[in-house]
């Protein structure tokens, strides 16, 4: 039992050391020697747990994928009870918080789009266009037999055609997905810049274009704290 626990600790130390090196250097140029030194293990210990550098990189991606799936599962769980935009706000805050502290997540997301590791497909990425569409459509979106006329639209878009007087600019789902993709990339590549206040300010700005006049007060741009910690 003690040996098994020690082996598990060693494996986790190797994964975390590998994440640090892969985040810095990428997959191809990451030296195994730097990984073993950072983990304070021998190459023999590394190869006991991982047959190759590729297998080690895939383990980092797998652990990052677990975190991504956990964050998305929480968002889906809340779809029946909460405003879709608030779910997206909370999801973005939860992700940014994790990116600031979780080097395995940052490295896994980088490795997930590394063409040398995944030459024929993307291994791991957060598809914000798909996430925004799914959350805005709600849990019953797959039932195409009874679509709602508002299904999948943002609040500001629903009354745009009925509005009298000059129409004000509003953001669509694609634009929102582009913004969230850019924010993820920024905070992932520069975790030292991560501040929840920055994200809150961005959401305050976005809400003015995503909601009907006077409706922005229904949302908390700093997040509700209901998402995963």
DSSP the chain: -HHHHHHHHHHHHHHHHHHHHHHHHTTTT--HHHHHHHHT--HHHHHHH-SSHHHHHHHHHHHHHHHHHHHHHHHHHTTTTS-HHHHHHHHHHHHHHHHHH-HHHHHHHHHTT-TTT-SSS-SS---HHHHHHHHHH-TTTT-TTS--TTTT--HHHHTGGG--SSPPP---HHHHHHHHHHHHHHHHH-GGG--HHHHHHHHHHHHHHHS-TT-GGGS-TT--S-S--
Q: What is the pLDDT of residue 195?
A: 80
The answer on pLDDT for 6 being more than 60 is yes
Q: What is the mean pLDDT of residues 107-131?
A: 94
Going by pLDDT thresholds of 50, 70 and 90, the confidence category of residue 145 is very low
For residue 132, pLDDT over 90 is answered with yes
* Candidate from 19-23, 172-176, 194-198 with smallest mean pLDDT: 194-198
Tell me the pLDDT band of 10, cut-offs 50, 70 and 90.
very high
pLDDT of residue 177 exceeding 60, the answer is: yes
Asked which of 8-12, 103-107, 144-148 is least confident by mean pLDDT, the reply is: 144-148
Q: Which of 22-26, 131-135, 157-161 has the lowest mean pLDDT?
A: 157-161
pLDDT band at 155 (very low <50, low <70, confident <90, very high): low
| 158 CB-side CA count, 13 A | 14
User: Would you say residue 139 has pLDDT above 70?
Assistant: no
pLDDT at 42: 96
Using pLDDT thresholds of 50, 70 and 90, give the confidence band for residue 148.
Answer: very low
Q: Which of 121, 135, 133 is nearest to 61 (CA)?
A: 121
Quote the mean pLDDT of the chain. Answer: 85
Angle, alpha carbons 208-184-193 (nearest 5°):
95
Per-residue pLDDT band for 38 (boundaries 50, 70, 90) equals: very high
Mean pLDDT throughout 170-188?
A: 88
Q: Is the pLDDT of residue 45 over 50?
A: yes
């Amino acid at each position: 039992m003690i040996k098994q626990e020690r082996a598990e600790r060693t494996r986790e130390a190797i994964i975390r050391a590998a994440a640090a090196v892969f985040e810095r250097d990428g997959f191809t140029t990451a030296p195994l020697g730097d990984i073993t030194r950072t983990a304070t293990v021998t190459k023999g210990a590394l190869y006991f747990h991982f047959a190759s550098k590729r297998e080690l990189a895939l383990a980092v991606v797998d652990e990052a994928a677990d975190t991504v799936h956990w964050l998305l599962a929480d968002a889906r769980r809340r779809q029946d009870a909460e405003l879709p935009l608030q779910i997206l706000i909370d999801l973005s805050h939860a992700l940014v918080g994790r990116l600031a502290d979780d080097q395995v997540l940052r490295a896994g997301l980088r490795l997930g789009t590394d063409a040398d590791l995944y030459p024929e497909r993307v291994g791991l990425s957060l598809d914000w266009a798909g996430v925004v569409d799914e959350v805005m459509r709600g849990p019953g979106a797959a039932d195409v037999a009874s679509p709602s006329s508002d299904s999948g639209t943002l609040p500001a878009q629903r009354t745009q055609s009925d509005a009298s007087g000059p129409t004000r600019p509003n953001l669509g789902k694609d634009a929102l997905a582009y913004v969230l993709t850019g924010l993820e990339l920024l905070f992932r590549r520069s975790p030292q810049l991560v501040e929840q206040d920055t994200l809150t300010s961005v959401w305050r700005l976005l809400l003015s274009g995503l909601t009907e006049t006077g409706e922005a007060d229904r949302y908390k741009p700093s997040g509700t704290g209901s998402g995963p910690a």
